Amino acid sequence: MQQEVRVRFAPSPTGGLHIGGVRTVLYNYLFAKKHNGKFILRIEDTDQSRYVAGAEEYIYETLSWCGLVPDESPKHGGNYGPYRQSERKELYRKYAEQLISAGQAYYAFDTPEDLEKMKLRVKTDENTNPQYDHSVRMEMKNSLSLPASEVDQLLSASTPYVIRIKMPENENITLHDMIRGEVHFHSHIADDKVLLKADGMPTYHLAVVVDDYLMKITHAFRGEEWLPSAPVHILLWRYLFGEDAMPEWAHFPLILGPSGKLSKRDGAKYGFPVFAMSWNDKSKGETTEGFRERGFLPEALINLLALLGWNDGTEKEIFTLEELIDSFSIEKVHKGGAKFDFDKAKWFNHEWIKKLSADDLAKKVKTVISGKGVAVKDEKQLYKIISLVKDRCTVLPDFWEQSFFFFREPDQYDTESIKAKWGEDKKRFFENFIKELGAIPEWGSAFIESAFKNLAAVCNIKPGELQLPFRIMLVGGKFGPPVFDIADVLGKKETIERITKALLKFDQ
Ligand code: GLU
The pLDDT value recorded for residue 430 is: 98
Closest Cα to atom 3, ligand 1: which residue? 11
pLDDT for the residue numbered 259: 84
User: At 417, which amino acid appears?
Assistant: S
CA of 112 to the centre of ligand 1 (A): 26
- Give the per-residue pLDDT at 19: 94
Q: Are 187 and 231 in contact (CB under 8 A)?
A: yes
How many A from CA of 254 to the centre of ligand 1? 14
Helices 398-407 & 483-490 angle (0-180, nearest 10) = 60
Q: Which of 56, 49, 42 is nearest to 13 (CA)?
A: 56
Q: So which residues are the catalytic ones?
A: 264
What pLDDT, on the 0 to 100 scale, is given for residue 53?
85
pLDDT of 508 reads 67
Q: Please tell me if the CB atom of residue 194 comes closer than 6 angstroms to any atom of ligand 1.
A: no
Looking at the DSSP bridge assignments, the partners of residue 221 are 250
**Ligand 1 within 6 A of CB of 208:** yes
Low-confidence ranges of the chain (pLDDT < 70): 1, 508
Claim: this prediction has a pTM higher than 0.95: no
The finding on whether 298 has its CB within 6 A of some atom of ligand 1 is no
C-alpha closest to that of 250 among 206, 302, 309: 309
| Pick from 421, 505, 500: nearest CA to 468 | 421
Provide CB contacts within 8 A for 379, sequence distance 6+.
362
Is any atom of ligand 1 closer than 6 Å to the C-beta of 44?
yes
Which of 28, 58, 208, 221 for a ligand 1 pocket mutation test, highest count of atoms within 8 Å of Cβ?
A: 208
CB of residue 226 inside a 6 A radius of ligand 1: yes
Residue 22 alpha carbon to ligand 1 centre in Å: 13
Going from the Cα of 10 to the center of ligand 1, the distance in angstroms, rounded, reads 5
Give the burial string for 373-405 (b: 16+ CB within 10 Å, else e): eeebeeeebbbbbbebbbebbbbbebbbebbeb
Q: How far is the CA of 39 from the centre of ligand 1 (A)?
A: 15
How far is the C-alpha of 97 from the C-alpha of 27, rounded, in Å? Answer: 35
Phi-psi region of 14 (alpha: psi -120 to 50; beta: other; left: phi over 0): alpha
- What's the confidence (pLDDT) of residue 1? 60
- Looking at residue 276, its pLDDT comes to 95
Cα angle 240, 242, 245 (rounded to 5 degrees) comes to 110
User: To test ligand 1's pocket by mutation, which of 204, 209, 237, 249 has the most ligand atoms within 8 angstroms of CB?
Assistant: 204
Whether 10 lines ligand 1, by a CB cut-off of 6 Å, is: yes
* Beta-strand relationship, 260-261 and 255-257: antiparallel
164 lines ligand 1 (CB under 6 A): no
Torsion of CA 328, 330, 331, 333, to 10 degrees: 90
- In this structure, the number of other CB atoms found within 10 A of the CB of residue 36 comes to 9
* Ligand 1 midpoint to CA 9 (Å): 7
Using a 6 Å cutoff on CB, does residue 217 contact ligand 1? Answer: no
Identify the structural domains of the chain with CATH numbers, from first to last: 6-74+210-256 (3.40.50.620), 89-196 (3.90.800.10), 409-506 (1.10.10.350)
- Name the residue of 6, 7, 9, 12 to mutate for ligand 1: max ligand atoms within 8 A of Cβ: 12
Query: Nearest CA to 213 among 175, 193, 239?
Result: 239
171 closest CA partner among 224, 216, 234: 234
Contact 51/14 with Cβ under 8 angstroms? yes
